[in-house]
Protein backbone atom coordinates (compact mmCIF):
# COMPACT_ATOMS: atom_id res chain seq x y z
CA UNK A 1 0.00 0.00 0.00
CA UNK A 2 1.53 3.32 -1.06
CA UNK A 3 0.66 5.72 1.68
CA UNK A 4 1.50 8.94 3.30
CA UNK A 5 2.60 7.01 6.35
CA UNK A 6 5.47 4.53 6.80
CA UNK A 7 5.09 1.66 4.43
CA UNK A 8 3.70 -1.32 6.30
CA UNK A 9 4.62 -3.85 3.63
CA UNK A 10 8.33 -3.68 4.40
CA UNK A 11 8.74 -6.80 6.52
CA UNK A 12 11.61 -6.61 8.95
CA UNK A 13 12.57 -9.14 11.54
CA UNK A 14 10.98 -8.62 14.93
CA UNK A 15 13.38 -9.28 17.77
CA UNK A 16 12.92 -9.63 21.48
CA UNK A 17 14.97 -7.22 23.60
CA UNK A 18 15.45 -6.93 27.34
CA UNK A 19 15.89 -3.35 28.54
CA UNK A 20 17.11 -2.19 31.93
CA UNK A 21 15.73 1.27 32.71
CA UNK A 22 17.20 3.18 35.64
CA UNK A 23 14.73 5.76 36.97
CA UNK A 24 14.03 8.08 39.87
CA UNK A 25 11.55 6.27 42.07
CA UNK A 26 8.96 9.06 42.14
CA UNK A 27 5.17 8.88 41.98
CA UNK A 28 3.88 8.23 38.48
CA UNK A 29 7.12 7.02 36.97
CA UNK A 30 5.72 3.57 36.15
CA UNK A 31 2.60 5.13 34.66
CA UNK A 32 4.83 7.33 32.49
CA UNK A 33 6.68 4.31 31.16
CA UNK A 34 3.70 2.02 30.64
CA UNK A 35 1.77 4.97 29.14
CA UNK A 36 4.59 5.58 26.70
CA UNK A 37 4.38 1.97 25.49
CA UNK A 38 0.60 2.01 25.08
CA UNK A 39 0.49 5.54 23.64
CA UNK A 40 3.06 4.79 20.94
CA UNK A 41 1.86 1.28 20.22
CA UNK A 42 4.88 -0.67 21.49
CA UNK A 43 4.67 -4.14 23.03
CA UNK A 44 5.43 -5.02 26.63
CA UNK A 45 5.99 -8.75 27.11
CA UNK A 46 7.10 -8.39 30.69
CA UNK A 47 7.82 -5.56 33.11
CA UNK A 48 9.26 -5.71 36.59
CA UNK A 49 10.15 -2.86 38.90
CA UNK A 50 11.59 -2.35 42.33
CA UNK A 51 13.64 0.27 44.14
CA UNK A 52 17.26 -0.88 44.01
CA UNK A 53 19.01 2.05 45.72
CA UNK A 54 17.02 3.18 48.73
CA UNK A 55 19.21 6.17 49.74
CA UNK A 56 18.92 7.83 46.34
CA UNK A 57 15.42 6.49 45.53
CA UNK A 58 16.53 4.91 42.30
CA UNK A 59 14.51 2.06 40.80
CA UNK A 60 15.44 -0.45 38.16
CA UNK A 61 12.79 -1.45 35.67
CA UNK A 62 13.33 -4.49 33.49
CA UNK A 63 11.23 -4.50 30.34
CA UNK A 64 11.03 -7.27 27.79
CA UNK A 65 9.74 -5.92 24.50
CA UNK A 66 9.69 -6.93 20.87
CA UNK A 67 10.03 -4.94 17.69
CA UNK A 68 12.05 -4.31 14.55
CA UNK A 69 15.50 -2.79 14.98
CA UNK A 70 14.11 0.67 14.20
CA UNK A 71 11.27 0.29 16.71
CA UNK A 72 13.67 -0.88 19.43
CA UNK A 73 15.86 2.19 18.77
CA UNK A 74 12.76 4.41 19.05
CA UNK A 75 11.67 2.75 22.27
CA UNK A 76 15.06 3.41 23.82
CA UNK A 77 15.17 7.02 22.63
CA UNK A 78 11.61 7.70 23.79
CA UNK A 79 12.34 6.19 27.21
CA UNK A 80 15.50 8.27 27.57
CA UNK A 81 13.49 11.39 26.79
CA UNK A 82 11.40 10.99 29.95
CA UNK A 83 12.66 13.39 32.61
CA UNK A 84 12.92 10.86 35.52
CA UNK A 85 14.78 8.28 33.39
CA UNK A 86 18.52 8.24 34.10
CA UNK A 87 19.53 5.74 31.46
CA UNK A 88 18.33 2.87 29.34
CA UNK A 89 20.49 -0.17 28.69
CA UNK A 90 19.73 -2.76 26.06
CA UNK A 91 20.91 -5.97 27.71
CA UNK A 92 20.27 -7.93 24.53
CA UNK A 93 22.73 -5.76 22.62
CA UNK A 94 25.29 -6.03 25.39
CA UNK A 95 25.37 -9.80 24.90
CA UNK A 96 23.76 -12.79 26.52
CA UNK A 97 22.26 -11.42 29.71
CA UNK A 98 21.18 -13.53 32.65
CA UNK A 99 17.41 -13.55 32.87
CA UNK A 100 15.47 -15.09 35.69
CA UNK A 101 11.84 -15.23 36.62
CA UNK A 102 10.09 -16.49 39.74
CA UNK A 103 6.87 -18.42 39.55
CA UNK A 104 4.42 -19.82 42.11
CA UNK A 105 2.30 -22.78 41.08
CA UNK A 106 -0.65 -24.28 42.96
CA UNK A 107 -1.72 -27.85 42.18
CA UNK A 108 -4.74 -29.58 43.67
CA UNK A 109 -5.39 -33.31 43.45
CA UNK A 110 -4.84 -36.69 44.99
CA UNK A 111 -3.51 -40.16 44.22
CA UNK A 112 -1.14 -40.62 41.33
CA UNK A 113 -1.36 -36.91 40.25
CA UNK A 114 -0.08 -35.85 43.64
CA UNK A 115 2.93 -38.13 43.46
CA UNK A 116 3.67 -37.10 39.88
CA UNK A 117 3.41 -33.40 40.71
CA UNK A 118 5.90 -33.79 43.53
CA UNK A 119 8.25 -35.78 41.33
CA UNK A 120 8.17 -33.19 38.52
CA UNK A 121 8.71 -30.37 41.00
CA UNK A 122 11.77 -32.05 42.35
CA UNK A 123 13.07 -32.76 38.82
CA UNK A 124 12.82 -29.02 38.05
CA UNK A 125 14.39 -28.06 41.34
CA UNK A 126 11.22 -26.31 42.55
CA UNK A 127 10.72 -25.71 46.28
CA UNK A 128 7.57 -26.77 48.05
CA UNK A 129 6.32 -23.72 49.91
CA UNK A 130 3.02 -25.09 51.12
CA UNK A 131 1.45 -28.51 51.33
CA UNK A 132 -1.95 -29.76 52.46
CA UNK A 133 -3.52 -33.18 52.04
CA UNK A 134 -5.02 -32.04 48.75
CA UNK A 135 -2.66 -29.35 47.43
CA UNK A 136 0.88 -28.04 46.91
CA UNK A 137 2.31 -24.61 46.24
CA UNK A 138 5.65 -24.80 44.41
CA UNK A 139 8.18 -22.06 43.83
CA UNK A 140 10.40 -22.20 40.78
CA UNK A 141 13.04 -19.70 39.74
CA UNK A 142 14.53 -19.99 36.31
CA UNK A 143 14.66 -18.81 32.75
CA UNK A 144 11.24 -18.07 31.26
CA UNK A 145 11.47 -21.12 28.97
CA UNK A 146 12.00 -23.45 31.96
CA UNK A 147 9.05 -21.94 33.77
CA UNK A 148 6.97 -22.26 30.65
CA UNK A 149 7.79 -25.98 30.43
CA UNK A 150 7.16 -26.53 34.13
CA UNK A 151 3.76 -24.86 34.02
CA UNK A 152 2.80 -26.85 30.94
CA UNK A 153 3.67 -30.13 32.64
CA UNK A 154 1.83 -29.16 35.81
CA UNK A 155 -1.32 -28.59 33.78
CA UNK A 156 -1.60 -32.36 33.47
CA UNK A 157 -1.32 -33.00 37.19
CA UNK A 158 -3.84 -30.65 38.76
CA UNK A 159 -2.59 -27.11 38.12
CA UNK A 160 -5.15 -24.56 39.39
CA UNK A 161 -3.24 -21.28 39.72
CA UNK A 162 -0.05 -19.62 38.46
CA UNK A 163 1.64 -16.36 39.54
CA UNK A 164 4.77 -15.11 37.71
CA UNK A 165 6.96 -12.12 38.47
CA UNK A 166 8.26 -11.26 35.04
CA UNK A 167 11.95 -11.06 34.28
CA UNK A 168 14.83 -9.64 36.29
CA UNK A 169 17.98 -9.44 34.19
CA UNK A 170 21.65 -8.64 34.54
CA UNK A 171 24.71 -8.69 32.31
CA UNK A 172 27.46 -11.25 32.83
CA UNK A 173 30.95 -10.25 33.90
CA UNK A 174 32.30 -7.43 36.06
CA UNK A 175 30.61 -4.52 34.27
CA UNK A 176 27.68 -2.74 35.92
CA UNK A 177 24.77 -0.59 34.76
CA UNK A 178 23.79 1.21 37.94
CA UNK A 179 25.14 4.61 38.70
Partner 1 sequence: MSEMMTGAEMVVRALQDQGVEHIFGYPGGAVLPIYDALFHQDTIEHVLVRHEQGAVHAAEGYARSSGKVGVVLVTSGPGATNAVTGLTDALMDSVPLVCITGQVPTHLIGSDAFQECDTVGITRHCTKHNYLVKDIADLPRILHEAFYVAANGRPGPVVIDLPKDIQFKSGLYARPRDNQHKTYRPKVKGDMDKIRQAIELMAAAKKPVFYTGGGIINAGPHASELLRELVRLTGFPVTSTLMGLGAYPASDEQFLGMLGMHGTYEANLAMHGCDLLINIGARFDDRITGRLDAFSPHSRKIHVDIDPSSINKNVKVDLGIIGDCGHVLEDMVRLWRSMSPTVDKDALKSWWGQIGEWRARKCLAFRNSDSVIKPQFAIQRLYEASKRTGRDTFVTTEVGQHQMWAAQYFGFDAPNRWMTSGGLGTMGYGLPAAIGTQLAHRDGLVIDIAGEASILMNIQEMSTAVQYRLPVKIFILNNEYMGMVRQWQELLHGGRYSQSYSESLPDFVKLAEAYGAVGMRCDDPAKLDGAIEEMLAVDRPVIFDCLVDKAENCFPMIPSGKAHNEMLLNDYLGETGTDIGSVIDEKGKMLV
Q: CB 33 → partner 1: shortest distance, Å? A: 11
Q: CB 176 → partner 1: shortest distance, Å? A: 17
Strands (E), the chain: 15-24, 46-53, 58-67, 85-90, 98-108, 127-131, 135-142, 159-170
- Asked whether 23 and 85 are in contact (CB, 8 A), the reply is yes
> Is residue 83 a contact point for partner 1 (CB under 8 A)?
yes
Instruction: Tell me, by CB under 8 A, how many residues bind partner 1.
Output: 25
Interface region with partner 1, contact rule CB under 8 A, candidates 1-9, 94-102, 134-142, 158-166: 1-9
Residues 89-128 binding partner 1 (CB under 8 A) are none
Q: Choose, by CB under 8 A, the member of 7, 55, 96, 112 that binds partner 1.
A: 7
Dist CA 139 CA 164 (whole Å): 10
Q: By CB neighbour count within 10 A (0-12 exposed, 13-18 middle, 19+ buried), where does 104 fall? A: middle
Closer by beta carbon to partner 1, 5 or else 176: 5
> Is residue 2 a contact point for partner 1 (CB under 8 A)?
yes
Q: Choose, by CB under 8 A, the member of 14, 15, 16, 35 that binds partner 1.
A: 35
DSSP letters spanning 100-133: EEEEEEEEE--THHHHHHHHHHHHHT-EEEEE-S
Closer by beta carbon to partner 1, 40 or else 127: 40
Q: How many CB atoms lie within 10 A of CB 139?
A: 15
Dist CA 140 CA 143 (whole Å): 10
Q: Choose, by CB under 8 A, the member of 11, 31, 133, 174 that binds partner 1.
A: 31
Binding site for partner 1 (CB under 8 A): 1-7, 24, 27-28, 31-32, 35, 39, 70, 73-74, 77-78, 80-84, 86
Amino acid sequence: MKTHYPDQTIVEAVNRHTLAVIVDNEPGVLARISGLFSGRGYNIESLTVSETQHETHVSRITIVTAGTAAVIEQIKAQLERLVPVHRVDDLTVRGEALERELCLVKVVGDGEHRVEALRLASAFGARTLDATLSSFVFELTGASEDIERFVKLMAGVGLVEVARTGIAAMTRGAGTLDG
